[in-house]
Structure 1
């Protein structure tokens, strides 16, 4: 099934935005506080965002 819009919607948009928010907030917090373990949480946010984009690209037939 091909999406009529190139923009992600619904759950995919939620995955991407949640991943961006978590990654940005925790990476800034890690830089400010010096707690390097926060970068592990930021990596999880980046992975969540990447998963959302990968599923979106698969639904668009590879054209993300």
Structure 2
């Protein structure tokens, strides 16, 4: 992948993908495709189903 164009799809299994519940609530998101000049439109269930992803509750500052 090009520097600055890292996509959550296809990352090594030891790289965690942390997803805020606000992101999942959007339904669709635009993510990097792996090169800086291109983007992908994905449903949030695709992100949540990636093997190294974890959906986290909304964190509020103390």
- TM-score norm. by structure 2 comes to 0.23
- TM-score norm. by structure 1 comes to 0.23
More helix by share: 1
Report the structure number with the largest CA radius of gyration: 1
